[in-house]
Amino acid sequence: MLSRCAVPLRDNLRRVTSARVRIVAGQFGGLRIRVPSGGNVRPTTDRVREAIFSSLGHGIEGTRVLDLFAGSGALGFEALSRGADFVTFVEKDSRALKTLAENARTLKVSRDRYRIVRGDVLRSLKKTSSEEQVDWAFMDPPYEKGLIEPTLKMLVDGNWVRSGGGIIVDHSKRDAIPEGEGWSLEDRRVYGDVAVAWIGLGGEEGA
């Protein structure tokens, strides 16, 4: 079960950001959110987010979402903008955590629609309860660090994603999507140096 160590919103949050990205569409479409300063956070670009959410269409509406290695929260906030009911953001970097909370304030997201969990993703993804299951899990781990396979394994073994849902991985095109029991690669598209993989539950990677 996810740690309950959530990050509170505070009026006196220190400004630790230097750039912004745009929410592409939906309730918050056109609004910009901040990106933490420094090189540790690499937000998913507008083009890639548009590709991801166009593939989901109305399937994001009314869903529960996990945003892992959340960074600025661009994927999770895009999901909320397009009608997701609830997003849980998981992040360990202190600057990113402050920025996540600030971005939620900027977008005026209702507190009953999201939660920010402070912690390492692999340590946080312990076996879930049925109340914490999600329809979609987004993951954007640091590139080429070997984190894709163990994160997929934790999601599948912990039964985090409901039947009919899936996992979407933003990754370096040089990172392969590993074969694994309990998941299959349904689609993979490359955008410059970035690739996006759509992972279905059940079976092994197909041809």
Summarize pLDDT for 32-84 with one digit per residue, the tens: 999 987 655 667 888 899 999 999 999 999 999 999 999 999 999 999 999 99
Question: Mind listing the domains of the chain with CATH numbers?
Answer: 17-201 (3.40.50.150)
What contacts 59, CB < 8 A, 6 or more positions away?
none
Q: What is the mean pLDDT of residues 98-108?
A: 96
d(CA 152, CA 85): 23
d(CA 36, CA 131): 31
Alpha helices in the chain (DSSP H): 46-56, 74-81, 94-107, 121-124, 148-157
